[in-house]
Every structure is written in structure tokens, then in C-alpha cells.
């Protein structure tokens, strides 16, 4: 019988709220068989996937600044040929072809505007640990503690010696820490090897450097490498898809291995470390600690490369020196920092967590065994991935967050801005992680600067535009070289959609200074859409050419087409943006009367959504057949969610049409689309739909054949990472936002301008009793506590950042209770009579 080894820092942040609720542990009872089985840790910049091996451990490490390519020189370059009137002439010709009824010819014309592709997010190194004495699997357990940000593996070796390993990445120390130890009562003297490998060629192979004086039983190696100068997307065939040389990110990795032996048996401790052929050998080891730091020449704030290799190496070593100087305190500082963010919001669904590994629980849940605690884990998992992957000073989360093992990852692991990047940040504000929103806002400032040239070059318009893909180098053009589908490439509204995040940040925080700082993003996007609008034959304003992201309709002869006129999603995004410009311009200090007049005039002439003859909310300007009825995108429902204009109170007819649309899309889709549909159903107060989508999202795509239910579809891997498939992090984050939307909504204002706080608007029947604390709401509000029993509110406590009056209602009821809130005072907004 083996004992559990408990490090002294493990319990530093237990609070009263933790005592009764099940722990936030993701648990698997075997080492990772695939990359998606591993558990992610991170500090916003350094990410690692922990595989949990015993004799052989692998930590796959990323640095969020490691991308292929380099900053762009000059404006976007269309593949052409363009003709004497340039790129705007191409747009005008496509518009005429659409008016003449030839959308496929219009698509061929628009292909001339395509340029290249975005660059790809890159893996950095693997840390490989070989320790034969630790081999074994008795009592194996691997957990990710979401509350503390630590992956812990415990097991007994074949010699029946208990072992424990903890892995974390510290934000305060900027370092990865692995600590592995055998039980103190067991004989010491084992040997371990630690080495670095990389999918990239070494610029400087791992080489020993002087170890810190304070740690005589330590060895340090330094390695340097360059990222590829160009990587083609994984779906594009071409010669030399991965190229090295030329301008690229320079990176360095510094690794320290600290070994402790058995001082009771050997007064000199007994442990020895040395470097052999670039690998660290540790002998006489009872406890092993590995500390890793990284550095690159990629300046996130400016999007530039300084090119000084010596400085990069020095930065990595300096960071390692600071971390190792107080290595004993790294874990406690990390846990305190991580838990301070994670602990702001708690969710308890009054559910017992079964004493089973996650993969078993997911399979049982898929076959009808109730396990509400899975939803709690998935909700907090989204917040965890935000804390671990997005911190001030980092790049925004990409398609895989900050975790990627492939040189040519799926969809380049890029910023896909026709839904996915935006979804990554849906839970950030409501989840009380506003500082984790800053990387997106900072990147938008740079993206909008780059997009001004694209707006002028391609469309001859003011402001800025971006299309469906981008990267840290702020690519803003249409992708492809004349061969990408117009359904995704010919869509210039990425900037208009992203600008909503500046609006949301202000709506939640009330930070006027941040609004003014980022207002050029919003204003520039508005100027672009105002210039892109054209007058249509019926006198309305619209877009031509237009697409509905990634979707197609059928022509009379059965061929699919993507380009049309005035798609519903185009008009919804534009209307939403212009309404926010009109509302927030005074707070931003923008008193441009000409802009105000243009916005007012456009809003008067923009059509709103319409209901099609079949009862669905129409996606296209005319009633055409769907090429793919169950399509994963539902961009024409934009003003339901993430917009705030369509709900059962404000637009009952459009609500019914939106629900009919979701029904027609079917029950299955990709993982991220299921998360979006969850948020949509919650906004529409479709309780049964919310319940069905929670179940659908938690479907295990990698279940064993004996418990599977047919072909793979969207859901989650056994680690709870979202499966498109393949892995995309957006679904994890969108799920969190959807659950929050089911518990509370505060987007509506009544006719008197009073904000409404709607409690439990879409609570599933499977969650009859529960409590949530700490959610942030629009208007500077905080839901300090919301408790319910038998589906009815028992107690709700609100507080506010500024004086405000709100109306509180419960579960669709017409009755409202008006509550006055003042800063620093918590008010019971609902309680049993």
C-alpha cells in the first residue's frame, strides 16, 4: 500500500467556499496516449502539455511569441491581375456581375484580390525526462487542479515506491517548474536524464553553462533556435511548405536541473548532476526539480523582431537565474497568483463528483448517467484556459490557445476572426478576468493600423478592414492565391466583428480611459463599413459583394455559390457596430458630427432581419436553398449572440425564427459550433435546447468503441479539451460563456433605460439546485451570489462599481423588482418571501 506525497505548498489557498464543493480536478488514470490526452499548464506566455509518464515523461512546451514568418513590409499584394482601375475596380466588376445574376463569375473576379496566407503558431521544445527507477503504474492518477493550476501525477513504481510529480508554469516567476520526488522512506540513489528536443533545427544545440552558486547540485543548459521563415497552411499543397532562413523569430531556452539526494544516508546529500552531450544526468536522486525559461526577439507590444541573438540568450538565462534564486518559493507564488484569478467565480450545482476518471465519466454521461459536476468542470475549465493562456503583455489566444505540437498545425493555429478568435474571449469579462482581455485589445490596436492599408488598397475606403484570418504580424488581406473559397476569403468584416470587444470591455468595466485608448479600432471599423455600403435598387443600403462566413447556397442548376448581395450577417454586424458607435461616441470623446450624421443616415436605411417563408431567420437576401443545411456557422444570428438585440422580449417573432433556424441546423456539429449554439439557445431562453447542447458538447469524441456511439463528431477529448475535431480551444471558452448566459443575463434595458438583471433565464432542469458567485455583468455589476433550489431563486446579491438602478426578474417572469445599487454596498436583490 503506497502513501500519497503531499508537498508543503499544496493547500495554500483553501477558502471556506472550497470546503463543501467538489474539487475542480480533471482526472485521468493513465499517462497520455495522445497529445490531446495531456493536460495543459501555462502562464500566458509559456505553455506546456503534461503527458504524465512515469519512467518517461514528456512536457511539450510552447512560447506564445514563437510563430513562423516575420512582420510584413508594405501593403497587401493581391495575386491579380487587377486591371487599370486596381483592386477597387475588381470589386465593382464583381458587383456588376452579381447584379447581372452571375455569382460564380463574381467569385472568380474576387479571387484576384487574394494574397497569401497567414503564418503558423509553432512548437518550441520538448522536455524529456527518463528515470528508470520510477517505472510503474500501480495506483496511477494524473490530475489537473483547475483552481491551483498544477498537474499532479502519483503512482507506485515496480519496487512499490510511491512517487509524486507536480508541473506548473508560474506567471510571477515566468518559469516552468517540474518537481518529482520519491517517498522519503524509500531507498534513494536513482538516476535520471533530462534533455531538450525540438522539431526545429538548433541554432545552438543544448550546451552547459555555469550553474547558480546557490545550488551546487544543479546543472544548466542553454539552447537557441530559429522559427521557420515561412509555413504554408496544412491544407495547402506546395513545394517547401516549411522554410527556414531569412527573417524569423529567434528563440532561446534555458533549463536548470536541481537534484536532491538522501542527507540521512549521505551528509553530502549524495546527489550529483552533470551534462553529457547536451543532456543533464542526475545521480543519487530522491527529488528532482526542472526549471525552464524561454525568450525570443518578438516584441508583442510592437509586433517587431529586434534580431539580437545574444540578447535573446541572455534574457533566457537571466529569467532562469531569477527563478532558481528562490526555487523553493516558485510553487507557492504560482498557486497564489493563479488562484487569485480563478477564485473570483465559483459554481456549484449541488452535485457529487463520482470517484471516477474523466474519460469514464464522459462516456457514462453520454449514455444517460447524470453528472452535473461535469458541467461545472467544463465551465471552470474555460476560465482556467483563459488564465493559463492570456495574460497582460501576451498575444491573444489563437485557435489552440498557447498549446500546439505541430509545425503545420490545423488551420495554422491562427487567429480565425469570423467567429473563433472572438469566441475565445466571450467568457473573459463575465468570468471576472478583465485583465485577461487586454491581449486581444492590444493586438486590435496593431491590427487596425495594418488594416487601414488593406482598406485603401483593396476597396478604396476609409478606416480599416480585416478578413477571416490573421496572425501576430497582423495579416489583414483575403487568404489564398486565387484558389481559396470566396465563402471564407471574400469577407471584409473581421474588423467590424472584432471591434465589438472594445465595446464589450467598456460595457462590463465602464473604463472610459480604455474606451478612448481603443476607440480608433471602433471608429475605423465604422468608417470602413459606411464606405462599403452601397445603395440597392430598392433604395436600402447593403453590401455587394457579400458572403455569409464559410456557407453556400444553391443556384437553380444545383451548383453551390457563396457570393451574394446583402447577406443577413453582413447587415447584422454593420447595424450592431453603428448602433454602438452612436451610443458610445460621447464617452469616447468623439464629437464628430459628420460621423454621427452618417451613422444615423445609414441606420435608417439598413434592413433588419427577416423571417423566411419556412419560418427560419433568413440567411440570404432571397430565398435560396441551403447547400449544407446543418452548416457549423450561424453568423446570421449575430444579433442574438454575441449581439444583444434579439431575445424573447425585444423581438419575439425573430426569436421564434432564430429557434427554428437552430432546429434546422440539427443536433450535431463541430465542438465550437455546439458552444455557440449553447449561447444562442441560452439567450433565446430555450431551456431544453440548453440542456441538449450541454450534453452534446460533453460528448467524448475519443470514447472506446465499446462505449462510442458512431462516427466522430464535435465534443471533447478525454482531457476535456474541445474537439472540432481536431482540437480547437474556442469551444471550451464558448461553453463557459454559454453556461453563464443560462444563469444570468444583463444585456437588456427597459423603455425607461433601466438595465434588467435576469436571473436563471435558461436554467436546465438537470441543475435544479445550485449556487454561483462572482460573475461580472454589463453595467459594472457583479453577481456576488445567486443561489437557487428546485429551479427557483433562493437568494441573489448584487453590487456595482458605480451608482445604478436595475430591474431584477426571475426565469422569464414578467414581474420585476427595482433595486438601487451604490459602490461598496452589497444588496440582496432577491430572497424568499
319 found inside a domain: yes
User: SS3 of 594, please?
Assistant: helix
Q: What is the pLDDT of residue 412?
A: 98
Could you tell me if 451 and 516 lie in one domain? yes
Q: Is 335 found in the same domain as 283?
A: yes
Please check whether residues 190 and 252 belong to one and the same domain: yes
720 within some domain = no
First-to-last C-alpha distance (Å) of the chain: 54
Q: Tell whether 555 and 644 lie within a shared domain.
A: yes
Total tally of structural domains belonging to the chain: 3
Q: Which of these three, 637, 666, 695, is where a domain ends?
A: 666
Rounded to 5 degrees, what are φ and ψ at 90? -60, -45
Residue 69 lies in a domain: no
Contact between residue 816 and residue 808 where contact means Cβ atoms under 8 Å apart: yes
pLDDT of residue 2: 33
CA 418 to chain centroid: 14
Within its chain, how far is the Cα of 382 from the centroid? 8
For 610-720, strand residue ranges (E) read 715-716
Q: How many residues does the chain have?
A: 833
The answer to whether 229 and 244 are in contact (CB under 8 A) is yes
Strand locations in 308-431 (E): 346-348, 415-416
Bridge partners of 257, per DSSP, are: 219, 290
Same domain, 237 and 265: yes
In a shared domain, residues 235 and 272:
yes
What CATH number corresponds to the domain at position 228?
2.70.98.50
What Cα–Cα distance (Å) separates residue 731 from each residue in 53, 177, 630? 28, 28, 18
Find, among 270, 18, 250, 41, the residue nearest to 153 by Cα.
41
CB of 426 closer than 8 Å to CB of 383:
no
Q: What is the pLDDT of residue 261?
A: 81
Which of 342, 374, 390 finishes a domain? 342
What CATH number should be reported for the domain holding residue 820? Answer: 2.60.40.1180
Q: At what angle do helices 372-389 and 330-342 cross, to 10 degrees?
A: 120
Q: What residues contact residue 355 under an 8 Å CB cut-off, 6+ apart?
A: none
Instruction: Look at residue 693 in the predicted model and tell me its pLDDT.
Output: 98
Residue 795 belongs to domain spanning: 755-830
Helix, coil or strand: residue 320: helix
Average confidence (pLDDT) per 10 residues, the chain, 833 residues: 37 41 93 98 98 98 98 92 96 98 98 97 98 96 98 97 98 98 78 98 96 77 98 93 97 97 61 95 95 98 97 98 97 98 98 96 96 98 98 98 98 98 98 98 98 98 98 98 97 98 98 98 98 97 98 98 98 98 98 98 98 98 97 98 97 98 96 98 98 97 52 86 97 98 97 96 98 98 98 97 96 91 93 69
**Residues 6 or more apart from 507 whose CB is under 8 A from it?**
778, 779
Alpha helices (H) in 74-186, listed in sequence order: 86-99, 103-110
491 lies in a domain?
yes
d(CA 521, CA 445): 6
Q: Are residues 772 and 638 in the same domain?
A: no
Domain match, 447 and 307 both: no
Among residues 649, 666, 683, the one where a domain terminates is: 666
User: How many Å apart are CA 109 and CA 94, to the nearest integer?
Assistant: 6
pTM of structure? 0.96
Our measurement of the distance from residue 826's CA atom to the centroid of its chain's CA atoms, rounded to an integer in Å, reads: 32
Query: C-alpha distances in angstroms, 428 versus 36, 512, 716?
Result: 24, 19, 21
The answer on 287 and 141 residing in a single domain is yes
Planar angle of CA 82, 85, 86, nearest 5 degrees: 40
Map residue 251 onto helix, strand or coil.
strand
316/434 same-domain check? no
Is 692 part of any domain?
Answer: no
Other residues' Cβ atoms within 10 Å of the Cβ of residue 101: 10
Cα 566–chain centre separation:
30
What DSSP string runs through 196-244?
Answer: EE-SSPEEEEEEEEPPPTT-TTEEEEEEEEE--SEE--TT---S-SEE-
Q: What is the pLDDT at residue 19?
A: 46
Establish if 698 belongs to a structural domain: no
CA 26 to chain CA mean position, Å = 19
Q: Does 460 lie in the same domain as 323?
A: no
Does one domain contain both 645 and 768?
no
* 5 domain-assigned: no
In a domain, 582, yes or no: yes
Q: How far is CA 133 from CA 186, 188, 194, 358, in A?
A: 12, 10, 14, 28
pLDDT given at position 812:
81
Domain containing residue 614: CATH number: 1.50.10.10
Q: Give residue 20's pLDDT.
A: 62
pLDDT at 73: 84
Q: H or E stretch including 273?
A: strand 272-276
Amino acid at each position: 500500500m503506497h502513501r500519497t506525497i503531499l508537498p508543503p505548498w499544496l493547500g495554500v489557498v483553501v477558502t471556506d467556499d472550497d470546503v463543501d464543493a467538489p474539487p475542480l480536478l480533471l482526472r485521468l488514470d493513465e499517462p497520455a496516449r495522445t497529445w490531446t490526452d495531456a493536460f495543459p499548464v501555462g502562464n500566458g506566455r509559456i505553455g506546456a502539455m503534461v503527458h504524465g509518464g512515469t519512467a518517461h515523461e514528456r512536457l511539450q512546451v510552447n512560447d506564445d511569441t514563437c510563430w513562423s514568418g516575420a512582420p510584413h513590409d508594405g501593403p497587401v499584394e493581391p495575386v491579380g491581375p487587377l486591371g487599370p482601375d486596381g483592386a477597387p475596380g475588381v470589386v465593382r466588376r464583381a458587383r456588376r456581375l452579381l447584379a447581372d445574376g452571375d455569382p460564380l463569375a463574381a467569385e472568380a473576379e474576387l479571387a484576384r484580390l487574394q494574397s497569401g496566407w497567414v503564418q503558423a503558431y509553432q512548437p518550441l521544445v520538448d522536455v524529456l525526462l527518463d528515470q528508470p527507477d520510477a517505472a510503474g503504474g500501480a495506483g496511477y492518477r494524473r490530475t489537473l487542479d483547475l483552481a491551483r493550476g498544477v498537474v499532479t501525477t502519483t503512482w507506485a513504481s515496480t519496487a512499490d515506491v510511491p512517487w509524486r510529480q507536480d508541473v506548473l508554469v508560474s506567471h510571477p516567476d515566468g518559469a516552468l517548474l517540474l518537481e518529482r520526488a520519491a517517498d522519503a522512506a524509500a531507498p534513494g540513489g536513482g538516476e535520471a536524464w533530462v534533455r531538450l528536443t525540438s522539431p526545429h533545427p538548433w541554432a545552438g544545440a543544448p550546451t552547459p553553462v555555469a550553474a547558480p552558486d546557490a545550488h551546487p547540485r544543479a546543472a544548466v543548459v542553454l539552447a537557441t533556435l530559429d522559427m521557420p521563415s515561412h509555413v504554408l497552411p496544412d491544407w495547402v499543397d506546395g513545394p517547401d511548405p516549411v522554410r527556414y532562413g531569412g527573417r524569423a523569430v529567434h528563440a532561446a531556452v534555458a533549463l536548470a536541473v536541481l537534484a536532491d539526494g538522501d542527507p540521512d544516508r549521505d551528509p553530502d546529500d549524495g546527489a550529483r548532476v552533470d551534462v553529457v552531450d547536451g543532456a543533464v544526468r542526475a545521480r543519487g536522486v530522491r527529488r528532482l526539480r526542472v526549471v525552464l525559461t524561454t525568450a525570443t526577439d518578438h516584441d508583442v507590444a510592437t509586433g517587431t523582431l529586434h534580431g539580437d541573438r545574444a540578447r535573446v540568450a541572455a534574457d533566457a538565462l537571466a529569467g532562469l537565474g531569477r527563478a532558481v534564486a528562490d526555487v523553493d518559493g516558485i510553487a507557492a507564488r504560482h498557486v497564489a497568483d493563479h488562484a487569485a484569478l480563478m477564485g473570483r467565480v465559483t459554481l456549484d450545482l449541488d452535485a457529487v463528483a463520482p470517484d471516477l476518471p474523466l474519460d469514464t465519466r464522459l462516456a457514462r454521461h453520454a449514455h444517460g448517467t447524470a453528472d452535473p459536476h461535469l458541467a461545472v468542470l467544463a465551465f471552470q475549465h474555460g476560465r482556467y484556459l483563459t488564465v493559463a493562456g492570456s495574460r497582460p503583455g501576451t498575444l491573444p489566444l489563437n485557435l489552440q490557445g498557447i498549446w500546439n505540437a505541430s509545425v503545420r498545425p490545423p488551420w495554422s493555429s491562427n487567429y480565425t476572426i469570423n467567429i473563433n478568435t472572438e469566441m475565445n474571449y466571450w467568457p473573459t469579462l463575465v468570468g471576472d478576468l478583465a485583465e485577461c482581455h487586454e491581449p486581444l485589445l492590444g493586438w486590435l490596436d496593431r491590427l487596425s493600423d495594418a488594416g487601414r492599408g488593406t482598406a485603401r488598397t483593396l476597396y478604396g475606403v476609409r478606416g480599416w478592414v480585416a478578413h477571416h484570418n490573421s496572425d501576430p504580424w497582423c495579416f489583414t488581406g483575403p487568404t489564398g492565391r486565387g484558389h481559396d473559397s470566396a465563402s471564407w476569403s471574400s469577407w471584409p468584416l473581421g474588423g467590424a466583428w472584432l471591434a465589438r470587444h472594445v465595446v464589450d470591455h467598456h460595457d462590463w468595466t465602464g473604463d472610459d480611459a480604455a474606451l478612448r485608448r481603443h476607440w480608433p479600432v471602433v471608429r475605423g471599423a465604422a468608417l470602413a463599413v459606411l464606405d462599403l455600403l452601397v445603395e440597392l435598387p430598392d433604395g436600402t443600403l447593403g453590401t455587394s459583394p457579400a458572403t455569409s462566413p464559410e456557407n453556400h447556397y444553391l443556384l437553380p442548376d444545383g451548383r453551390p455559390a457563396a457570393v451574394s448581395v446583402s447577406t443577413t450577417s453582413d447587415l447584422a454586424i454593420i447595424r450592431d457596430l453603428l448602433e454602438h458607435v452612436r451610443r458610445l461616441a460621447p464617452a469616447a470623446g468623439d464629437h464628430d458630427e459628420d460621423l454621427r450624421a452618417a451613422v444615423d443616415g445609414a441606420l435608417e436605411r439598413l434592413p433588419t432581419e427577416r423571417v423566411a417563408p419556412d419560418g427560419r431567420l433568413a440567411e440570404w437576401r432571397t430565398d435560396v436553398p441551403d447547400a449544407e443545411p446543418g452548416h457549423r456557422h450561424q453568423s446570421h444570428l449575430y444579433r442574438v449572440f454575441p449581439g444583444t438585440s434579439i431575445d424573447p422580449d425585444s423581438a419575439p417573432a425573430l426569436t421564434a425564427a432564430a429557434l427554428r433556424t437552430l432546429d434546422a441546423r440539427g443536433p450535431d456539429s463541430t465542438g465550437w459550433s455546439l458552444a455557440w449554439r449553447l449561447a444562442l439557445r441560452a439567450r433565446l431562453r430555450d431551456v431544453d435546447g440548453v440542456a441538449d447542447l450541454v450534453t452534446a458538447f460533453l460528448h467524448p469524441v475519443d470514447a472506446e468503441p465499446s462505449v462510442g456511439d458512431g462516427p466522430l463528431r464535435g465534443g471533447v477529448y478525454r482531457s476535456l479539451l474541445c474537439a472540432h475535431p481536431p482540437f480547437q480551444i474556442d469551444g471550451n471558452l464558448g461553453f463557459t460563456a454559454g453556461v453563464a448566459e443560462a444563469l444570468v443575463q444583463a444585456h437588456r434595458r427597459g423603455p425607461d433605460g433601466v438595465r434588467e438583471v435576469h436571473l436563471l433565464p435558461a436554467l436546465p432542469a438537470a441543475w435544479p439546485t445550485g449556487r454561483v458567485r462572482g460573475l461580472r455583468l454589463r453595467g459594472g455589476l457583479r453577481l456576488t451570489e445567486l443561489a437557487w433550489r428546485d429551479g427557483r431563486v433562493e437568494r441573489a446579491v448584487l453590487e456595482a462599481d458605480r451608482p445604478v438602478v436595475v430591474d431584477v426578474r426571475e426565469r422569464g417572469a414578467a414581474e420585476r423588482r427595482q433595486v438601487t445599487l451604490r459602490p461598496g454596498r452589497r444588496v440582496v436583490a432577491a430572497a424568499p418571501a
